[in-house]
Structure 1
Amino acid sequence: MVYASFDELEAAVMKKARKSRVAVVEAADGHVLEAVRHATDAGLVEPLLFGNRKNIVDNLERLGLAADAYEVVETTEPIESAVQAGIAVKEGRADFLLKGLIQTGVLLKGLFREETGFRTGRLISHMNIVQVASYPKLLALCDAAINIAPDLEQKRVIIQNSVDALNRMGIDMPKVAVLASSENVSEKMPETLDAAKLKEMNENGLITNCVVDGPLSFDLAVSPEAAETKGYCSPVAGDADLLVCPNIVSANVLIKCLRHMAHALTAGIAVGGRVPVVLNSRAASAEDKFRTMVLAASAAG
């Protein structure tokens, strides 16, 4: 399955047998609750709110919602909210998590407590989805937010985390482009050596349910014309579903260039845990948060 836009992804999510259940960690935030209301009214989610009940209710009422509009779980401090939300996931009461008024480090520290069962033994990584007018389908990108300078094994897990999420979204055998500045392997450029090894890992069954090629320059990954001009023959070239950047700097620069210069729509989630986690900044608009909830609901399977 290929999605041309977030609208198509949203339509597919809405066809699911039941609404996704979202656990909102430290939900006493007007922007977050506005996004939750939008998602709830659209029929996307059923919310479960964690935090100080009075503060949550005050924010609900400021939005014109009844105090009992959504289920609220009272907690006394942010890390308790994170732990209790993780336990809700473990008990099957939530399909994905949404960061509210809590620092990302505190959220993850709480989720990583043993009693939550959130950790799967894998590295936690980040995946963005991008909708850009010049590309015919949604494009995934990793890792622009969590892992700073991943080594070869970490890159393998980062790829598998994203591939597994794409598979749950209905994207079978995604085409993975491991990016570098050139398609040529050179000892002077370690990222090209890693890319070649990751391709070999895929061929040997160590990275599954996808097709990996690399090293590939960005133009080869997304432009059929560039691949044809350079005479580069590959099932991935010009048709990538997932771009894998060498490090957080290159990934972060690329996603921000697409967002601010190419006016791309973006959404990002943390993957590798028991369920996806939405880590939008507080400054993100309600529309951005809603789009990311659509992604998380889809990636939750």
Structure 2
Amino acid sequence: MEYKDFDGIIKAAERLNQTSRVAVANAADAHVLGFLFAAKEKGITLPILVGNEKKIKNTLMDSRQNPNDYEIYDSPDGEEAQMAVDLVRDGKADFLMKGMMETSDFLRPIVKKENGLRIGRIMSYVALMSFAGYHKLIICTDGGMVTYPDYEKKKQIVINAVDVLHAIGYEKPKVAVLCCKETVDEEMPETVDAAMLKQASLAGGLGDCAVEGPLSYDICMSPEIAAIKKFKCEHSGNFDVLLFPNIHCCNIFVKSLVIHQKARAATIITGCRVPVIAPSRGSTTEEQILSLALASLAAGKGGCV
């Protein structure tokens, strides 16, 4: 199966009927609680609020919410992320979300091996996107975690992205390894990595997916341009994942689409036992609801992301 738009993601998450629980670290913030209210009302997820209990209850009441309708865990200052991780580890929550705190403080207990959330791979950033001119949702990676991935790290980034799609029902995702050209050039290590990734996929080393590369963006996205250039690419215009050469390329691409094309995006961190959401300060309410829906669906399917 494939998702053509975010309506399908939202509807699939709603069918879970709040059976997927998100532990929110340091939840005493009106903006954070605002999109959690919306997600809860839609049945996308059941929020578990971690932080200063008094502040959380006051913020809920200020927002005309009944604190008794929420599961709240009182945490000492500075221990919110650890308590949220403990809830996941103890089976009381299904995925994690950052509230009003620094991202580095939020991620610190997640990456600790003793907390049991690591699965032996790097953690990477996935942006599932919908934008004009493309007929279905597509993942862009990695625009937020791994700065300059080498070949081995790119393998793990691909596996992480493919695992997300498997978890939400895809059978054999199609991955494009993007470069500035579609031929291997020894002077451009990104093209060498891309060719190696394709060979690793053909050998079964990247899981159940199809990887093509190196590919220029135009050939990747337009079968008409691929035909003009006489480049044979079976999946041109139909990829599910775009792997960018580094964090800057992906980050700029995603933000340019969001700002100039009003693209929609759901963003999660993958590569550990549960999905992780770490909203940026510029994230909109819609983006966070979509991110909650994606994480809830992936966690609810029982996939390891």
Counterpart CA distance in 1 for 2:111 and 2:181 is: 38
Counterpart CA distance in 1 for 2:18 and 2:264 is: 26
Deviations 1:132-157 (A, max 9, x none): 12100001010000100011100000
What is the TM-score normalised by the length of structure 2? 0.95
Counterpart CA distance in 1 for 2:85 and 2:161 is: 21
Structure 2 gaps of 5+ residues are none
Amino acid across the alignment from 1:224: P
After alignment, is 61-70 or 244-253 more displaced? 61-70
Deviations 1:97-149 (A, max 9, x none): 11101111111112223442111111001000110121000010100001000
Q: What is the Cα deviation at residue 228 of structure 1?
A: 2.1
Kept in 1: contact 2:141–2:250 (CA 8 A)? yes
Number of residue pairs matched by the alignment = 300
Deviations 1:42-70 (A, max 9, x none): 11111111101011111101110112221
Written as runs of structure 1 = structure 2, the 5 A alignment for 1:233-272 is: 233-272=232-271
User: Does the residue aligned with 1:126 lie in a helix, a strand or coil?
Assistant: strand
Q: Determine the structure 1 residue equivalent to 2:211.
A: 212
Deviations 1:177-213 (A, max 9, x none): 0000010110111100000001011111111110000
Counterpart CA distance in 2 for 1:18 and 1:236 is: 36
1:2 and 2:2 correspond: yes
After alignment, is 165-174 or 108-117 more displaced? 108-117
Counterpart CA distance in 2 for 1:17 and 1:120 is: 28
Counterpart CA distance in 2 for 1:152 and 1:112 is: 22
What is the TM-score normalised by the length of structure 1? 0.96
Written as runs of structure 1 = structure 2, the 5 A alignment for 1:1-301 is: 1-16=1-16, 19-78=19-78, 80-300=79-299, 301=301
Counterpart CA distance in 1 for 2:222 and 2:8 is: 23
Counterpart CA distance in 2 for 1:212 and 1:132 is: 22
Counterpart CA distance in 1 for 2:92 and 2:110 is: 15
Identical-residue share of aligned pairs (%): 39
RMSD: 1.3
Counterpart CA distance in 1 for 2:220 and 2:262 is: 20
Structure 1 gaps of 5+ residues are none
